[in-house]
Structure 1
Amino acid sequence: MRIAVTGSIATDHLMVFPGRFTDQLIADRLDRVSLSFLVDDLHIHRGGVAANIAFGLAQLDLTPILVGAVGPDFADYRAWLESHGVDTASVHVSATRHTSRFLCTTDESQNQIASFYAGAMSEARDIDLARVAARHGGLDLVLIAPNDPDAMLRHTRDCRAHGFRFAADPSQQLARLTGPQIRSLVEGADLLFTNEYEHDMLLSATGWTRSDVLFRVGRWITTLGENGVRIESGTEPPLTIPAVPTDAVVDPTGVGDAFRAGFLAGLSRQTGIEQAARIGAALASVVLESAGGQEYLFAPEEFLARLTATYGAAAATDIEHRVLGGKVSPQP
């Protein structure tokens, strides 16, 4: 299955301040704040929604097509992705802008001060999906993940114009997009991904009811954190899949991206919706136990053990044969 993953490609710079930001604020001088914080730690992670999802798909033995815009500083990141099985031939390289950067400082109370530099991402609107499809002999599914808003709208129009099936994942950009823009992104999607809060944001922004949305999409997949995932359609009863539990929560960054990767990998191997959601939940639990969206080590035996513990041996065995090629067996 030829899956094109469109969206952001970025580098995350995460820092820790061993104090509280609020202790440095002067109540009657908040109109002229000028502060500098000496931080103790700096962690640099490869990130961006599209890159994280593509990386996850590659861990499950697919060859996803990454579609996004980067700067000339992307060489090392490209080598990393390609070494892990991601096709980067359709990534646009800007001649003048750097790859997107996320810079975030967290204090001891978990307060954060962050900045996002879009950089080359603004050129993603210039990418023509028809050319991407021609390069790969067609596209079976296009995931439209958070990106430059104009790029998201263009990619959706391209999918409709050329008959590409697409999945809508507006998530972080819901706050930036207008109601009409969101409606345009959602209309006709095979799949719609949101988390629980974004579920309500989407209804509020579009003015649609839940039934209105389900009339316009194939399936609406809503992640519910520790409560699992809910899958709805206009023709079937809602389905809730429990999460894979973990006691070793390290960092939530990239967890939703991992779920999407697992879910799409399952669909590509024709596991069915319920099994696809289980794969997504299991991969999300792996990422939750690591720092960063691509810093985890995928171990098939351990992955199957998670599936067995949560969903039973029969479900794990089916996933082993359909998704992992039957190379390993679930642990007792």
Structure 2
Amino acid sequence: MRIAVTGSIATDHLMVFPGRFAEQMITGQLEKVSLSFLADELEVRRGGVAANIALALGRLGLAPVLIAAAGSDFAGYGRWLRSNGVDTQSVWLSETRRTARFVCTTDADQNQIATFYAGAMAEAGDLELEPTIRRVGGVDLVVIAPNDPEAMVRHTDECRRRGYAFAADPSQQLARLGGDETRGLVEGARYLFTNEYEAAMLRERTGWSESDVLDRVGTWVTTKGAAGVRIAEASRPALTVPAAPTTGVADPTGGGDAFRAGFLAGIAWGIGHERAAQLGCALATVVLESVGAQEYEVASNDLLSRLDKGYGATAAQTWEPHLPRLI
């Protein structure tokens, strides 16, 4: 199964605030917020949702194709992605803008406040999928991850027009999207990915109930942090998969992207939704226990151990034929 991933490529500036954001918020003054948080740590890391998903898929051996826009400062980042099995030939390089920036502060409760500068990502709306898909001989799924909103709309429309199966992952961009745009991004998706908060926002933006959404997509996958993952399909009982155990969260950035990659790898290998979600959860814990969305190391024995501890020997045995060969 060949997967193309569209969305953001970014450099992450990750800071840690040792206090709690909630303790700094004054009731009745939230419409006039002016706060500065003194951070104890700063890490500058490679990131961007599409790049994070593609890198994890590459490390799992799926040779993903990355379709995105970056700046003239992308050379080193591109070499890194290629060394991890990602096809970057279809990354558009801007002549005037730098690669996008993600600036994020995390507090003691793992809450985050972030700002995203689009940079070269603003040019992603000019990209067409068909030349890349023709170049690689076809793809089985296009992931439409957070990106320039115009690009997300264009890629979704092209997928429907040309008959490409796609996964909708609007995530953080839901805050920028109106009702019509959100409905357009969801309609016809084979998979829809959200977290719990984004699921509520999506229902608010679209005006659709959960049943309405499920009438329009194949499978709705909602991540719920420590509460695991909910997988819903029309006319079937929802499936809940518990989170994999973790030794502690060092940095939450990129955990959801790793889950998506693990889940999609499971789908590519024909394992089924429950097992796919288990791999996604296990891979997410690897990322959560490291600082930065791409700085983690993956080993088959480690993933199998996490699957065994979280889901039992049968789950680990299901994955064992795949992981030693692919990692």
**TM-score (ref. length: structure 1):** 0.90
Question: In structure 2, what residue type is equivalent to 1:269?
Answer: W
Q: Residue type of the partner of 1:139? A: V
Distance across 1 between alignment mates of 2:293 and 2:284: 10
Cα separation, partners in 2 of 1:11 and 1:178, compared to 1, 3 Å: same
**Is the CA contact 1:61–1:324 (under 8 Å) kept in the aligned structure 2?**
no
Residue 300 (structure 2) pairs with residue 311 (structure 1): no
Q: CA deviation at 1:20?
A: 9.5
| Cα contact 2:60–2:326 (8 A) shared by 1 | no
Aligned to 1:188: 188
How far did 1:116 drift? 2.1
Q: Distance in 1 between matches of 2:129 and 2:135?
A: 10
Please list the CA deviations of residues 15-61 of structure 1 after superposition, one character each: whole Å capped at 9, or x if unmatched: 456889999xxxxxx9897x998865431110000001011111211
Three-state SS of the structure 2 residue aligned to 1:234 is coil
Instruction: Give the SS at the match of 2:8.
Output: coil
Q: 2:229–2:242: 8 Å Cα contact kept in structure 1?
A: yes
| Pair 252,31 (structure 1): closer, same or farther in 2 beyond 3 Å | closer
- What is the distance in 1 between the residues matched to 2:209 and 2:61? 38
CA RMSD of aligned residues (A): 2.6
| Residue number in structure 2 paired with 1:8 | 8
Identity %: 62
Structure 1 unaligned blocks of 5 or more: 24-29
Distance 1:80 1:190, change over 3 A: same
SS in 1 for 2:120: helix
Shift of 1:117: 1.5
CA radius of gyration, larger in: 1
Alignment-derived partner of residue 324 in structure 1: 323
- Which amino acid in 2 is paired with 1:244? A
List structure 1 segments (4+ residues) > 4 angstroms apart after TM superposition: 16-23, 30-33, 35-40, 105-114, 325-328
Please give the residue correspondences for 1:1-332 in structure 2 after superposition, counting only pairs within 5 Å: 1-16=1-16, 41-105=41-105, 114-321=114-321, 323-324=322-323
Q: Would the alpha carbon gap of residues 10 and 111 (structure 1) be closer, same or farther in structure 2, given more than 3 Å must change?
A: same
Check 1:36–1:72 CA distance in 2 against 1; reply closer, same or farther (3 A cut). same
- Give the distance between the partners of 2:117 and 2:134, measured in 1 at CA: 31
Question: Separation in 1 of the partners of 2:281 and 2:291?
Answer: 17
Secondary structure of the 2:88 match is: coil
- In the superposition, the TM-score normalised over structure 2's length comes to 0.91
How many residues end up aligned between the 2 structures?
322
- Counterpart code for 2:73: D
Q: Which amino acid aligns with 2:3?
A: I
What is the distance in 1 between the residues matched to 2:16 and 2:324?
Answer: 42
| Superposition deviation, residue 247 in structure 1 | 2.7
